[in-house]
A and B are shown apart, each in its own frame.
Chain A
Amino acid sequence: MVNKQGQTRLAQYFDSNLTADERRQLEGTIVRRCIARGADECAFVEHREYTVIYRRYASLYFVVGCEGEENELAMLEFVHGVVETLDRHFGNVCELDIMMHLDKVYCMLEEMVMCGNVVETNKQIVIAEASKAIDVQRDGGFPK
């Protein structure tokens, strides 16, 4: 997740051995290319062997890089699912929510994506499981 100024707000990599510098560089290149594109252009950019799929919500860009035969349209739909889930949890989610509650967002993402694969698309389940885990944070013990 990247904002309009190209600042990364949340990033997760699956199976990559990039160093911090390489990561920053890669994010920079991809984000610059996405931001430069117009609203009516298609949501896909090819970068080296990866297909980059992005979707813009207000000032935030959600960028996903896939390799191989990924269904681009389904991935777009999934990004929308993630945003809707965050929206339901935070109530009209905005950039600041994501920044300030980094660990909660990660927690929610974790319920939806695992090792680069979609794990759950049912928003109710995701929110229920994630809130249980997040709530425990405060009072100790284990989620039920």
Chain B
Amino acid sequence: MSTLRLRDLIRKVRECKTAAEERAVIARESSAIRESFRNPDEARFVPRNVAKLMFVHMLGHATHFGQMECVRLTARNGFPEKRIGYLGLMLLLDEDQEVTMLVTNSVKNDLSHKNHYVVGLGLCMLGSICSAEMARDVAGEVEQLMGHGNSYVRKKAALTATRVIKKVPELTEGFVPAAEKLLSDRHHGVLLAACTLATEMCEDDDDVRQRMRAQVPQLCKVLKSLIYAGKSVEHDIAGHADPFLQVAILRLLRVLGRGDADASDAMSDILAQIASNTDGAKNAGNAILYEAVETIIAIEAVGGLRVLAVNILGRFLQNKDNNIRYVALNTLAKVVEVDMQAIQRHRAIIVNCVKDADITIRRSALQLVYGLVNAKNVTTLSHELLEYLEVCDEEFKCELAKKISSLALKFSPSKQWYIDTFIALLIRAGQYIDELECNDFMGLVARTPQLHGYAARSLYRAACDDYAPVRLCAVAVWVCGEYSDAMVHAPSVEDEVLTKVKHNDVTKLMIAILSEEKYLMLRPLVMTALAKIAVREPSEQAVIIPVLAKYETTLELETQKRAHEYKSMFEKMPDLRDMLFEHMPPPEAPKFVAADTMETLAQKKAADAARPARSFGDLLNFDEGDSSQAQTSGADLLNDLLSPSSADAPTSAPVTPAKQMPTTDPFANMDAAHPAAVAGLMDLMSDDVPVVSSSSTGSLIDALGAPTAPTPPTAPQPAYAKGSLSIFLSASKPNQLDQSKTLVSARYVNAGPADIENFSLHAAVPKTMTLSMQAASGSTISSSAPVTQNMLVSAAAGHEGKPIALRLKLSWVENGQVMNEMATISRVD
């Protein structure tokens, strides 16, 4: 039994102090209401209970059990019951099949009710919740009601019709005559509804649009009478005759005029009158002006009209009211493609809007500026944006930096300018620049030999700042290390700030970067840069080799490895090191960077689309070390590396152990310093990799020095073997600071004589981890060439220490036979 009044329920809920208390009150009341629904003696309380449910629903609690009661209420005879029933349906109903079917029956009765308020209720409910099936069932009635004698019914029927054709577009055709008739109605509400309906009809249907174009003169007549009619108290807002109706008609005209010169012509007079005569002092007037401008822009208007429209937007832009500026910016963004020249005049104001205090305005303005930039103004605009980047809020910087970066790339007038701009961007918002973009930038520098010196000197100046962002330093370290010779010797370029740099200065900068805690992650890069400098300028070796020696004992694995390898190379292989530390071959240009001038913009645009798919080689890792460099520049260097000790070394096999070097942890490396351990490891190694002759492995290790011996994968036994196929898995932490990420390197070895073809491996990890697989190095495993594949496993927070378990699904073709296998690997070490 629940006889609590709605008021009392609201009061009770308001008295609750906590959310839990509120939930308890609601739960109690809900169950009382359910109880009451079941009791036939309490039928008179149903309307009140449904009203309470609406309140409960608004608070966000479940009310589905009230749906059926609403349907029953609508079927009752009394008006108050029907009213509350329909209201309840509109609010509480979800797409319950059974309920909607019942509703259709009762609403059909009410649509033919003699009281027009009852008909109105039914139409209103249909307008809110009708489904496609209901729409088909009631379409006939709705169409008839559009011709009803009472305006109250006509307007509601017209709007219900919009819902019907939205749900079932095929029904549009049948409503056209009725809609045409309503467009000549005298009642404002009906006209407004008719415009909404006609707009909806014409949006997606060419035939209907063509037919409706006959109504353009009629619509213009209505507009004219609105403008010139005397004041009518009911519809006037701030001296404008029914602005809502004006807006609705203008919108319909827009749909009709778009792409049709005749229709556009017929409406241009009235548009001009509205645009020039409407007073923009109040919001209502501006709403009309705004809609008129939108229409002028969209239709096939003559030049003069367009100028008028853009001028109105210019006035809007200068308005103090932010609302008006917002619509102006958004509308101008639509004009950009049509009439760039007209907007360029307002450039200064628009750029000012990017600096507005209001984030909504800033976003819209930035979007507009983005469309506004072309080859002619890119220098001034990006200069202004860069200046603003220095002072804007932190939250906005990311967005702005990304936009500047892509603009600079798209419209750069010269490579030198692009280099300048990108460095400026790195200085101001380095943390927001994508690593990929940095790689592209370094690639561009590498491909532009005439600017090697210029870029390196500019970056050197920028990186000398104590507060230089990490990203900037990363780029600077790579470029300065790679092109230190050009930096010192290349003549200065036009407009360059004169900087005299000696190798000694670069070395000092590198050492300064090494000593800064915040640049910790750059240390491996600095090692490579130092080694390269030492080769270019042998006199620097006296400073650099002790630095390398110092970092041989660091706990950071990658830094330690590089320091040791490079130092060994200087000490043990003087004749090789020049070749090893040659300039990196410039990476192939991604298509959209290949062309830097405006002439090829069209090609760039096409390539832009393909951009996300392109994965550019990670430059930062390119120069990881001598052996990986050998991989990238082909087998020649590798042969050179091996030739002193073993002339017939296989070219492909040593690559695999070299690649797996990072798999060791620091302690294993220390152990490896003992000769005995090395020997043991080497034995393991030759067992493990049957294709590598032990002599070549040995010589490779000798050449590199004991501690950096390619430690074999820590799992010498295959993780999985079937027939001639063996799978070796090894796990490593690519980033010592982030224990959640594990790199699993898989190697697929074929011990049999026949090739394994179409090899594919799918892997799954436990729910606490996520897995991302990289592409395998091939799908065919021959006995001489194993295939490798990397997988990156990220553990969810709190599960970092758990062993990695894998479930594998394998398939391959061997001797023409298709094999499908499943395997579970309980632990990858």
Chain A interface (Cβ < 8 Å from any Cβ of B): 8-12, 14-15, 17, 20-21, 23-24, 37-38, 40-46, 69, 71-74, 76-78, 81, 99-100, 102-103, 106-107, 110, 114-115, 117-125, 129, 132-133, 136-137, 140-143
Q: Are B55 and A102 in contact (CB under 8 A)?
A: yes
Scan residues 316-350 of chain B and give those whose CB is less than 8 A from a CB of chain A.
321-327
A residues within 8 A CB of B324?
73
Say yes or no for B115: interface residue by CB 8 A criterion: yes
Whether B360 contacts A133 by the Cβ 8 Å rule is no
Q: In the assembled complex, which residues on chain A have CB atoms less than 8 Å from the CB atom of B359?
A: 41
Chain B residues within an 8 Å CB radius of A9: 58
Contact A142:B115 (CB < 8 A) given known A41-B322, A42-B360, A114-B128? yes
Q: Distance (Å) between the CB of A55 and the closest chain B CB?
A: 10
Q: Could you tell me if A71 and B251 are in contact, using CB atoms closer than 8 angstroms?
A: yes
Contact yes or no, A72 B235, CB < 8 A:
no
Residues of B within 8 A of A77 (CB): 237, 243-244, 283-284, 287
User: Is B388 among interface residues, defined by CB-CB distance under 8 A?
Assistant: no
Provided the pairs A10-B58, A103-B84 are in contact, do residues A119 and B327 lie with their beta carbons within 8 angstroms? no
A138, chain B: closest CB distance, angstroms: 8
Question: In the complex, what's the smallest C-beta–C-beta distance from A141 to chain B, in angstroms?
Answer: 7
Complex contact B62–A20 (CB within 8 A): yes
Residues of A within 8 A of B326 (CB): 42, 44, 72
Chain B hits for A120, CB < 8 A: 155, 189, 192
* Cβ–Cβ < 8 Å partners of A143 in chain B: 79, 115, 117
* B290 and A71 form a contact (CB under 8 A): yes
Does the CB pair B234–A124 fall under 8 Å?
yes
- Specify the chain B residue showing the minimal Cβ separation from A43: B323
Residue picked from A11, A74, A129, most chain B C-beta under 10 Å: A74
What 13 new A-B contacts, CB under 8 Å, besides A8-B58, A78-B244, A102-B6?
A21-B60, A41-B361, A74-B291, A77-B237, A77-B284, A100-B6, A110-B124, A114-B159, A121-B235, A121-B244, A133-B83, A142-B79, A142-B118
Closest 8 CB pairs of A and B: A115-B127, A42-B322, A73-B287, A24-B60, A74-B287, A41-B358, A120-B189, A142-B115
List B residues 427-485 near A (Cβ within 8 Å).
none
Task: Assess whether A42 is in contact with B361, with CB atoms less than 8 Å apart.
Answer: yes
Instruction: In the complex, identify which listed stretch (B87-95, B98-106, B664-672, B689-697) lies at the interface while the others stay far away.
Output: B87-95
Residues on B lying within 8 angstroms of A by beta carbon are 6-7, 10, 51, 54-55, 57-62, 78-80, 83-84, 87, 90-91, 94-95, 115, 117-118, 123-124, 127-128, 152, 155-156, 159-160, 162-163, 166, 188-189, 192-193, 196, 234-235, 237, 242-245, 247-248, 251, 283-284, 286-287, 290-291, 294, 321-327, 357-361, 363
B80 and A140 within 8 A (CB): yes
Report B-chain residues with C-beta under 8 Å of the C-beta of A17: 94-95
A41 to B359, CA, bound (A): 9
A12 near B159 with CB under 8 A, answer no
Give min CB distance, A30 to chain B, whole Å.
13
Contact check, B10 vs A99: say whether CB atoms are below 8 A apart. Answer: yes
Q: Which residue of B lies closest to A20 (CB)?
A: B60
Instruction: Report if A117-B196 is in contact (Cβ < 8 Å); known contacts: A20-B60, A44-B360, A71-B290.
Output: yes
CB–CB B156/A114 < 8 A:
yes
Which A residues are CB-close (under 8 A) to B127? 114-115
User: How many angstroms between the C-alpha atoms of A5 and B358 in the bound complex?
Assistant: 22
Q: A73-B324, A74-B243, A77-B287 are in contact. Are A115 and B78 (CB under 8 A)?
A: no
Can you name 14 A-B residue pairings with CB atoms under 8 Å? A15-B163, A21-B60, A40-B358, A42-B321, A46-B363, A102-B6, A102-B58, A107-B83, A107-B87, A114-B128, A118-B192, A118-B196, A119-B155, A120-B189
A119 lies within 8 A of B189 (CB) = yes
Q: What residues of A have a CB within 8 angstroms of the CB of B10 in the complex?
A: 99-100
A15: which B residues are within 8 A, CB to CB?
128, 163, 166
Query: How many angstroms between the C-alpha atoms of A43 and B280 in the bound complex?
Result: 18
Please tell me if the beta carbons of A73 and B84 are within 8 angstroms of each other in the complex.
no
Nearest opposing residue in chain A for B60, CB measure? A24
Given A73-B286, A120-B155, A121-B242: A42 in contact with B237 (beta carbons within 8 A) = no
A71 near B247 with CB under 8 A, answer yes
What is the chain B residue whose CB lies nearest that of A7?
Answer: B59
**Chain B residues with Cβ under 8 A from A24's Cβ?**
60
| In the complex, chain A residues whose CB is within 8 Å of the CB of B196 | 117-118
A114 to B323 Cα, complex, angstroms? 26
- Max count, chain B CB within 10 A of own CB: residue among A107, A115, A122, A142: A115
A23–B117 alpha-carbon span in the complex (Å): 31
Q: Are B193 and A122 in contact (CB under 8 A)?
A: no
Chain A's nearest CB lies how many Å from the CB of B772? 27
Residues of the B chain whose Cβ atoms lie less than 8 Å from the Cβ of A110: 87, 124
Between B61, B244, B245, B325, the greatest number of chain A beta carbons within 10 A of the residue's beta carbon is seen for B244
Q: Which residue of A lies closest to B235 (CB)?
A: A122
Instruction: Tell me the bound Cα distance from A34 to B321 in angstroms.
Output: 17
A73-B323 in contact given A14-B128, A17-B94, A133-B117 (Cβ < 8 Å): yes
Which chain B residues border A107 with CB–CB below 8 Å?
Answer: 83, 87
Selected contact of A115 from candidates B7, B54, B95, B163, CB within 8 Å? B163
Given contacts A24-B60, A136-B80, contact A103 B54 (CB under 8 A): yes
Determine the chain A residues whose CB is within 8 A of the CB of B358 once the complex forms: 37-38, 40-42
**B729 CB to nearest chain A CB (Å):** 42
**Minimal Cβ-Cβ distance residue in A for B83:** A133
Q: CB-CB < 8 A to A23: which residues of B?
A: 60
Q: Which residues of B contact A46 (CB under 8 A)?
A: 360, 363
Contact of B291 among A20, A71, A132 (CB under 8 A): A71
Distance (Å) between the CB of A19 and the closest chain B CB? 8
Residues on B with C-beta less than 8 A from A41 are: 322, 357-361
B87, A119: Cβ atoms closer than 8 Å: no
* B residues near A132, Cβ cutoff 8 Å: 117
Give which listed residue, B7, B234, B244, B363, contacts A118 with CB less than 8 A.
B244
Pick the contact of B159: A11, A115, A121 (CB < 8 A).
A115
Residues of B within 8 A of A69 (CB): 251, 294
Interchain CB contact under 8 A, B159 and A117 = yes
Complex Cα gap A15–B238 (Å): 33
Q: What residues of A have a CB within 8 angstroms of the CB of B244 in the complex?
A: 74, 77-78, 118, 121
Q: Give the Cβ gap from B622 to chain A, nearest Cβ, in Å.
A: 40
Pairwise interchain contact B162-A115, C-beta atoms closer than 8 A: yes
Known: A23-B60, A74-B287. A122 touches B80 (CB 8 A): no
**Given the complex of chains A and B, what is the CA–CA distance between A141 and B59 in angstroms?**
32
Bound complex: CA A84 to CA B524 (Å): 69
Complex Cα distance, B141 from A53, in Å, reads 35
The docked-state distance in angstroms from the alpha carbon of A114 to that of B193 is: 10
A24 CA to B10 CA, complexed, in Å: 19
Q: Residues of B contacting A103 with CB < 8 Å?
A: 51, 54, 84, 87
Question: How far is B357's CA from A45's CA once the two chains are assembled, in angstroms?
Answer: 14
Name the A residues within 8 Å of B83 (CB-CB). Answer: 107, 133, 136-137
Q: How far is the CB of A135 from chain B (nearest CB, A)?
A: 10
Q: Report A-chain residues with C-beta under 8 Å of the C-beta of B78.
A: 140
A100 contacts B192, C-beta separation under 8 Å: no
Query: Shortest distance in angstroms between B245's beta carbon and chain A's nearest beta carbon?
Result: 8
Whether B291 contacts A44 by the Cβ 8 Å rule is no
| A71 and B360 within 8 A (CB) | no
Bound-state CA distance A144–B55 (Å) is 29
B193 contacts A117, C-beta separation under 8 Å: yes
Q: Which of A69, A77, A121, A133 has the most CB of B within 10 A?
A: A77
* Complex alpha-carbon distance, A82 and B115, angstroms: 26
- Least distance between B111 CB and chain A CB atoms (Å): 15
Measured CB to CB, the closest approach of chain A to B719, in angstroms, equals: 44
A108 vs chain B, min Cβ distance (A): 12
CB contacts (< 8 Å) of A141 on chain B: these are: 79
In the complex, how many angstroms separate the beta carbon of B785 from the nearest chain A beta carbon? 50
Is B118 touching A8 in the complex (CB atoms < 8 A)? no
Please determine whether B124 and A114 come into contact, CB atoms closer than 8 angstroms. yes
